[in-house]
Every structure is written in structure tokens, then in C-alpha cells.
Amino acid sequence: MSTPIVEQVAETTLRDFESKLRDKPLVILYPRHRGRNALVALLLQQYNQDIVYYTLSEDDTTLQTWLKHIIGDIFPQGFDSQTLNAISSRAHPDELAVAFAADLGSLRSERYVLLLDAFDRLGSTGPMDPFIRSLPDVMPGNVQIVISARLMDLQPWNDLINEGQAAVVGNEEALGGGIYGEEGGRGQLEVFALSGGHVYIDGQPVTSWDGSLPRHLFYYFVDHPMVTRDEIFSIFWPNMSVKEATNVFHVTKRKISERLGYELTNYSGGFYVHSPRLSVHYDVRTFEESVQDAIINEGSASANWYQAVQLYRADYLPGVETSWAEARRAELKHKYAQALIGLGRYHRGLGELDQALGYLLRALREKPDWEDVHRDVMLIYYQQGRRDEAASQYQQLTRTLQQAFGIQPSRDTRNLYEVITAV
């Protein structure tokens, strides 16, 4: 039986979703899961009449305001709300949690799900922290709360997950399994260099670097988990004296630490290495591991090629025009083209010519001078009876090779062209 479209987009089956829902009073949809909105749609589609949906508005900026709004929105008029009574008596946040849970239990007798969307309008600091921490212990057994947000802090959610009071859905597709569920006080750093260059620390975005140099050095450190001071100086300050470079380096490094709230690196054995106080989730590392696994393990190659293609959403650090970043960008673009070709040839082997053609043409947009890929495309067009397009592909290759290298296509390619154009 084929997988429903909404499950494909959500990248999570209903069975997996429900296994996370089971026996957990709170469930979080992972904020940076690509299919988070599809996860919401999956919930709404599946539970239909057994779900109560509330999306926070711009006015829901405090705990008390939000509670007033949600009681007025989802409860019947005239409902004797314990929550509103608690607000009127200026109850402590943990007392508000008890009152709110009691109201949720009174709303319906049958089991239902309360879906809270755009929850990041509230955040989880200040009074929200004790409210959230208190809620799981007092939740009625017939109610579960599912929380969807674009941004969510590491805490208090991580503690609740480790205590078994909350679960997270969609973290399987997140970098390194996502930021939730790790024991201890390690910071969680997420770096998306293949998605436009976005950085999150403990679930919140880093939006300012105090100049381009701290940002560039930050990415260099993330991309080079073990590097010497001399290597850094040769890349960033090749024309400075060691004394001058040392001063600028330490000032820049301090700015990075201020932006993250953590030291990014430690100095050990002559190398700068990633600090053990940070868990680094880096899309480039996951991308390269997928490509390498696909090359080594032929049996699981297609799954690894798929993962690599999904991770590569944009060229590496667009806008960073330094020599090291440009070299890295070219290297990763090459690997992305490899992944596209791998998928193209995989689908061609299955006889799925349209899908194969799509991936191979995408590869040629990245690497227009790869003659063997042009030949693959020509052959697929020929197999589909599209001789004119196959001949046009040959002409495109001829122009590309002439302009780039001053050469003509190889004998194998010319022979294929002669077969294609033969009457």
C-alpha cells in the first residue's frame, strides 16, 4: 500500500507519530523539521473531531493573556473556568498550570488532542518556565498537548523529555538527531551552511556577529574541527605579523563566544578543537557522511544519495567570498552533483526514466562539462523516442566543451550521436 502524500511530506508515518504520542502529556514538533507544517496537517487529518486547534496570535505575548484568550476561544461561553479564577487571584504560574489542566479535563470527557500552533510567540522563559514544567504532572489522562513552533528554546523542554514527560516528533530527520534528549549541561549548536547560512544556539537563532570577521572565523572553526593557529593565521591574516594576528584573533574569538554564550573551541595539543561543552550539529558534516556512505555501501546508496540531495538546499555559505569558502563551495558542489548523478542512475536502473532524467539534468546545471552525464541524458531521450532532444543535448555538450576546453566530444559520445541521428 502506498504511503499517503501528507505522510511523505511530513517524512513521518502516522504509526511513528502515534508511538510518540502514546502516554506523553506533551509532544513537541521539532522546530526545524522540514515537514513541520505537514506534521500539523497529519494531526488535523487523522484526529479530525478529536483535536482542538489553537494558533497563538500577536496578542498572545504573556502567560496570562494567552490563557485568557484560549479559554475564551475554545471553551463554551459561561464556562466556569478555574484558569480565569486563578488569574484573577494572581496565582503563581505552577498554580495556573493546575487550573488550566483542570479546565482541559472538564472540556471533554473523551480523549482529545490540544494542538497549539505558533507557540514561539510566548517563548519559555520567565513565568512560562515554571508553568510548562508543572503542566505534565497535572495533565488529565484524556488530554495531550502538541506544540508547534518555528523556534523553541532548549529548556525546559529538554529536561521534560529526559524525565519522560514529553516527546519530540521529527527529530529523526534533524541534524544529529536534534537538540533535545541529551543529558547534561552541553550547549546545542546547529549550523546550516547549506541552507543559506543559519546558526541556532540552544534553539534560538544567532542574528548578529558584530561584523563579518567573527562570522567567517566561526564557520571556519565549525568546518575545521581540528586546526592549528598557524593554519588559521595563514587563511585570515597572511600579511600580519604573528603579534598583530594574535591580537586580532583573540578579539575575534572572544566576539564569537559572546554571540554563542559558550566557548566554541578549546586549545589542546597544538590544535584548536571543538569545545566539549558544545554538541555541534552541522549540515555539511551530515551531507559529506551521506555521500561517503553512498560510495562505500552500494546496498544503501540510494537512501544516502537522497539524504545528501535533501540536505543540499543552497550552495555553501552564499555571499562569503573568501578563498577558503570558495574552495569549499566548489568541493561541496561537486559532491552534490555526484549525489544527483547517483540518484539519476539509480532510477534509470529501475526503468524510471523521467525521474532519472530530472536528477541528471539537475547535475548538469551544477557541472555542465561532465560528458558522461550528457551521454546518459542523450541515451534516455533516445530510449523515450525523443531524438531531437537527444541531438540537441549533443550540440549543447559540443558548445560547452569547445568554450571550456577547446575540444570536441569523445569518440564514444560521437558514436552515440551517430546512432541517434541515423535515419
Least confident piece of the model among 123-127, 219-223, 319-323, 359-363: 123-127
Summarize pLDDT for 51-100 with one digit per residue, the tens.
Answer: 999 999 999 999 999 999 999 999 998 898 999 999 999 999 999 999 99
Does residue 2 register a pLDDT over 70? no
In the three-class reduction of DSSP (H, G, I as helix; E, B as strand; rest coil), residue 186 is classed as coil
- Give the residue, 14 or 323, on which the prediction is more confident: 323
- Does residue 8 carry a pLDDT above 50? no
**Mean pLDDT value across residues 392-412:** 95
d(CA 341, CA 363): 6
Give the H/E segment covering residue 366. helix 353-366
User: What are the DSSP E strand ranges found in 39-103?
Assistant: 51-55
Neighbours of 308 (CB within 10 A): 26
pLDDT of 349 > 90? The answer is yes
Pairing of strands 143-148, 26-29: parallel
Give the three cell numbers for residue 324: 577558503
pLDDT digits (tens, 9 = 90+) for 168-183: 988 877 888 899 988 7
Of the pLDDT bands very low, low, confident and very high (cuts 50, 70, 90), residue 13 is: low
Cα distance between residue 318 and residue 111, in whole Å: 49
* pLDDT tens digits, one per residue of 24-35: 999 999 998 887
The CA distance from 394 to 377, in Å, is 9
Model confidence over 234-256: pLDDT tens digits?
999 999 999 999 999 999 999 99
Whether 420 and 391 have beta carbons less than 8 Å apart is answered as: yes
Mean pLDDT of 339-351: 95
Q: What is the pLDDT of residue 280?
A: 95
137 in Cβ contact with 104 (< 8 Å): no
Task: Give 43's pLDDT tier (boundaries 50, 70, 90).
Answer: confident
Q: Rounded to 5 degrees, what angle do the CA atoms 16, 302, 380 make?
A: 130
Q: What is the pLDDT of residue 18?
A: 72
Cα 138 from chain centre? 33
For residue 11, the model assigns a pLDDT of: 57
Q: How much is the pLDDT for 44?
A: 87
Mean pLDDT throughout 374-389?
A: 96
φ, ψ of residue 357 in degrees (nearest 5): -65, -40
What distance in Å separates the CA atoms of residue 299 and residue 277, rounded to the nearest whole number? 37
Backbone torsions φ then ψ of 167, nearest 5 degrees:
-135, 160
- Calculate the average pLDDT of the chain: 91
pTM strictly above 0.85: yes
What the block records as the C-alpha cell of 74 is 475554545
Query: Rounded CA gap, 226 and 223, in Å?
Result: 9
pLDDT at residue 170, as a whole number: 82
Which DSSP category does 211 fall into? S
Give CA–CA dist 329/317, Å, rounded: 8
Give the DSSP H or E segment for 167.
Answer: strand 166-169
Place of cell 505575548: 61
**Prior bond to 156 cis, omega within 30?**
yes
Phi, psi dihedral angles at 281 (to 5 degrees): -105, 110
What is the number of other CB atoms lying within 10 angstroms of the CB of residue 206? Answer: 18
CA atoms of 335 and 312, how far apart (whole Å): 10
Residue 5 phi, psi dihedral angles, 5° rounding: -55, -45
The answer to whether residue 272 scores a pLDDT higher than 90 is yes
The alpha carbon of 376 is separated from its chain's Cα centroid by a whole number of angstroms, namely 32
Q: Is the pLDDT of residue 310 over 70?
A: yes
Find out whether 207 and 221 touch, Cβ atoms under 8 Å: no
- pLDDT at residue 6 tops 50: no
Instruction: Report the distance separating Cα 302 and Cα 347, nearest Å.
Output: 9
Q: Report, as an integer, the average pLDDT of 109-122.
A: 93
Identify the three-state secondary structure at position 198. strand
